[in-house]
Copies of this chain bind each other. A is one copy, B any other.
Amino acid sequence: MEIERCSCTVVHEDVIEKVKNLMPEEERLYDVADLFKVLGDSTRIKIICALFESEMCVCDIAALLNMSQSAVSHQLRVLKAARLVKFRKEGKVVYYSLDDEHVKMIFDLGLSHIGEE
């Protein structure tokens, strides 16, 4: 499905050309958006935020957030797919922890942004 071009006449062709050349590859932009999409859910943000402090098993997270085990497990799957968390098994229990150095910084910058009232 091809979308036709905006019909405006004030298009600044030079600016568009310049910006087009400077922007990252489209695929990378999709990947970045997907990363933020993962961070853009309150349940997942809570999980990440909890894991800043300590590794936790699924049950602990469910209890902490007052959510069902299933819901937590589904979200951990998403976080795992985004390579944001890792896990280790100890018998039946699975302990999750953060798998990234950037997330804490990203989170803190996010807090900074909303903090400046």
Contact = CB atoms under 8 A, between A and B. Distances in A.
18 contacts: A3-B67, A5-B66, A6-B68, A6-B69, A12-B56, A15-B56, A16-B63, A16-B64, A18-B54, A19-B50, A19-B64, A24-B49, A29-B42, A31-B114, A32-B110, A34-B40, A35-B40, A109-B109
What is the count of identical protomers in the complex? 2
Interface of A: 3, 5-6, 8, 10-12, 15-16, 18-20, 22-24, 28-42, 44-46, 49-50, 52-54, 56-57, 59-60, 62-64, 66-69, 83, 93, 100, 102-103, 105-107, 109-114
Given A50-B23, A57-B12, A67-B3, A36 B33 contact: no
Contacts of A52: 22
Contacts of A54: 15, 18-19
